[in-house]
């Protein structure tokens, strides 16, 4: 069954989808740029071992948070009506989850620190355990910003939260000058979040469990989904710590974060905005299918540009952002950028599957991803070295993403021909961009900022030129390219009119 690629989506919901996505992406990039400056400073004050210690400790923390959390906010966003009883239940369950997580972390601390053979990890765990405990009391009323598509208010709330946290974090780094600064910044940021949540929301939730069954029906799959995704993502760090050193782990963790930043900082906030918008049209298969086609097209264009782009400028990005002593992160960033492009398209499927009540499918595919990634990474690292880990990730993500698309094709949300038409032009444009940067990279420049800026300008021009050239040669079909062109022309028209 072939669906139109850009059908008649409800004007109001469609407008809010675009507006909400832009707000969320702007928010995420504002927060991330603040964080990038913060990382650039901290990376010069601390050593890779500090990051490696915290990364290993946080594997246990994040796993327990994932198992106990259940995504109460997501359940509220998806609900057609979120009355006071539902919000009170969600807040109470969050508090219970926070307390349970704190207790479990304290209980497993001796086992974790003993496994890694480093008492510093025990100290980090004791401090980090305070974060989920504090966040459990955050005013759940902040979820109404997303439910009502009031992204401007959420933007201000989260950006202010991040700004305050950065200043506190820098103060801690200057005070401790070691891994303790990273550890104490976690409960400190949680306290900031807690205080702000009660300042920006008038209502005060109360304790109650009247609607707990509704959360359980949703959360059981979300816990499985989140746990599987976390295991698939963090297994690298455990394997590197066993085959290499804490220094190697720190280099990989920071390189992974840098490589994935461009793609994730667009896709994750976009998904955050799309979830409530999808939920409002989930009852209308025609509007839902049309929206899915358009969003998938946008996801392919953005993921290919950001992921392959970061891969192409890996060396300059590492030296410019992190400093010369992080040179070993360059090969990780180069290949993980490609992985990020693939993951970016997968992340755009999350809000669609959750809104359409296919969270079970999402959980199963994430379990498959983890089940394949863990042995693939372990075998690749043992045979080829830890530098080859990103290659294993790329292979697994390609296989799993293919399986997800096959499943979607079986539901008739998208046809094989329309899927091919949606994906092939961004992929071809990304390959052309990578080739142009490789062949025309300026040699002999002593200024890394200038070198990277030239590569980005040349690569961006190549990407857009090839993308829209192929679109014209294809007969200018409906889809993401046409929507982007219309958006740019409308923006230029408004600017011309204002002159």
The pLDDT confidence band at residue 339, using thresholds 50, 70 and 90, is very high
Report the pLDDT value the prediction gives residue 103, as an integer from 0 to 100: 94
The pLDDT confidence band at residue 13, using thresholds 50, 70 and 90, is very low
Could you read off the pLDDT of 442-460 as tens digits, one per residue? 887 778 889 999 999 999 9
Report the pLDDT value the prediction gives residue 491, as an integer from 0 to 100: 61
Could you read off the pLDDT of 191-246 as tens digits, one per residue? 999 998 898 888 788 888 887 777 776 666 677 777 777 788 888 888 998 888 88
d(CA 38, CA 29): 14
Q: Inform me whether the pLDDT recorded for 423 exceeds 60.
A: yes
d(CA 252, CA 330): 10
Report the pLDDT value the prediction gives residue 232, as an integer from 0 to 100: 84
Give the burial string for 446-479 (b: 16+ CB within 10 Å, else e): eebeebbebbbebbeebbeebbbebbeeeeeebb
Alpha helix (H) residue ranges in 282-358: 285-312, 314-321, 330-347, 349-355
Are the C-beta atoms of residues 76 and 86 closer than 8 Å to each other? Answer: yes
Q: How many CB atoms lie within 10 A of CB 431?
A: 14
pLDDT more than 90, % of the chain: 31
- Over residues 144-161, the mean pLDDT reads 73
Residue-range domain boundaries for the chain: 46-210
Report the pLDDT value the prediction gives residue 12, as an integer from 0 to 100: 45
CA distances from 442 to 324, 445, 452, 454, 455 (A): 20, 7, 9, 8, 8
Report the pLDDT value the prediction gives residue 25, as an integer from 0 to 100: 60
Report the pLDDT value the prediction gives residue 49, as an integer from 0 to 100: 85
Report the pLDDT value the prediction gives residue 385, as an integer from 0 to 100: 92
Q: Inform me whether the pLDDT recorded for 314 exceeds 60.
A: yes
The pLDDT confidence band at residue 20, using thresholds 50, 70 and 90, is low
425's CB contacts (< 8 A; 6+ apart) are 467, 470, 471, 474, 481
Q: Identify which of 189-193, 234-238, 282-286, 418-422 has the greatest average pLDDT.
A: 189-193
- Over residues 342-362, the mean pLDDT reads 83
The pLDDT confidence band at residue 2, using thresholds 50, 70 and 90, is very low
108's CB contacts (< 8 A; 6+ apart) are 60, 64
Torsion region of 149: left, alpha or beta (phi above 0 gives left; psi -120 to 50 gives alpha): left
Could you read off the pLDDT of 67-111 as tens digits, one per residue? 777 667 766 766 656 677 778 888 898 899 899 999 999 999 999
Report the pLDDT value the prediction gives residue 481, as an integer from 0 to 100: 84
Report the pLDDT value the prediction gives residue 304, as an integer from 0 to 100: 93
Q: Which two tokens stand for residue 210?
A: 């009247």
Question: In terms of Cα–Cα distance, which of 132, 135, 133, 151 is closest to 143?
Answer: 151
Give the burial string for 184-220 (b: 16+ CB within 10 Å, else e): bbbbbbbbbbbebbbebbeeebeebeebeebbeebbe
d(CA 70, CA 354): 13
Q: Which of the pair, 430 or 207, is modelled with greater confidence?
A: 430
- State the DSSP code for 442: P
* Matching residue, tokens 């983890």: 370
Q: Inform me whether the pLDDT recorded for 24 exceeds 90.
A: no
Are the C-beta atoms of residues 326 and 48 closer than 8 Å to each other? Answer: yes
Could you read off the pLDDT of 459-472 as tens digits, one per residue? 999 999 999 999 99
Helix (DSSP H) and strand (DSSP E) numbers for the chain: 20, 0
> Average model confidence (pLDDT) for the chain?
82
Question: In terms of Cα–Cα distance, which of 360, 275, 210, 361 is closest to 74?
Answer: 275
Report the pLDDT value the prediction gives residue 35, as an integer from 0 to 100: 67
């Amino acid at each position: 069954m072939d669906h139109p690629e850009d059908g008649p989506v409800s004007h109001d919901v469609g407008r809010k989808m675009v507006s909400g996505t832009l707000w969320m992406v702007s928010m995420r990039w504002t927060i991330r740029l603040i964080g990038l400056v913060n990382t650039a400073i901290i990376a010069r004050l601390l050593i890779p071992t500090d990051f490696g210690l915290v990364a290993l400790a946080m594997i246990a923390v994040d796993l327990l948070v994932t198992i106990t959390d259940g995504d109460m906010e997501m359940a509220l966003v998806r609900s057609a009506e979120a009355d006071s009883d539902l919000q009170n239940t969600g807040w109470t369950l969050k508090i219970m989850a926070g307390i349970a997580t704190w207790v479990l972390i304290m209980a497993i601390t001796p086992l974790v620190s003993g496994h890694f053979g480093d008492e510093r990890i025990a100290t980090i765990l004791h401090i980090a355990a305070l974060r989920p405990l504090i966040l459990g009391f955050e005013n759940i009323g902040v979820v109404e910003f997303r439910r009502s598509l009031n992204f401007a208010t959420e933007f201000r709330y989260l950006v202010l939260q991040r700004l305050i946290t950065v200043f506190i974090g820098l103060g801690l780094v200057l005070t401790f000058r070691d891994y303790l600064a990273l550890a104490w910044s976690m409960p400190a940021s949680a306290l900031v979040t807690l205080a702000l949540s009660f300042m920006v929301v008038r209502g005060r939730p109360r304790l109650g469990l009247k609607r707990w069954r509704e959360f359980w029906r949703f959360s059981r799959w979300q816990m499985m989904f989140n746990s599987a995704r976390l295991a698939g993502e963090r297994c690298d760090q455990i394997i590197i710590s066993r085959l290499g050193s804490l220094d190697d782990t720190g280099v990989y963790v920071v390189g992974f974060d840098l490589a994935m930043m461009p793609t994730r900082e667009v896709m994750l906030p976009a998904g955050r905005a799309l979830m409530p918008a999808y939920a409002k049209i989930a009852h209308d298969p025609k509007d839902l299918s049309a929206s899915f086609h358009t969003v998938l097209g946008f996801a392919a264009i953005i993921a290919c540009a950001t992921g392959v782009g970061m891969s192409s400028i890996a060396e300059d990005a590492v030296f410019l952002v992190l400093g010369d002593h992080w040179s070993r992160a360059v090969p990780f960033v180069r290949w993980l950028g490609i992985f990020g492009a693939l993951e970016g398209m997968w992340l755009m499927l999350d809000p669609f599957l959750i809104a359409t009540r296919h969270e079970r499918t999402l959980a199963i595919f994430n379990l498959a991803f983890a089940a394949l990634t863990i042995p693939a990474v372990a075998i690749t690292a043992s045979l080829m070295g830890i530098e080859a880990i990103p290659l294993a990730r790329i292979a697994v993500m390609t296989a799993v993403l293919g399986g997800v698309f096959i499943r979607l094709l079986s539901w008739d949300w998208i046809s094989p021909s329309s899927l091919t038409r949606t994906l092939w032009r961004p992929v071809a444009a990304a390959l052309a961009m990578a080739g142009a940067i490789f062949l025309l990279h300026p040699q002999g420049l002593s200024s890394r900022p200038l070198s990277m800026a030239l590569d980005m300008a040349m690569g961006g021009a190549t990407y857009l030129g090839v993308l829209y050239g192929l679109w014209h040669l294809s007969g200018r079909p409906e889809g993401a390219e046409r929507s982007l062109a219309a958006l740019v022309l409308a923006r230029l028209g408004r600017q011309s009119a204002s002159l």
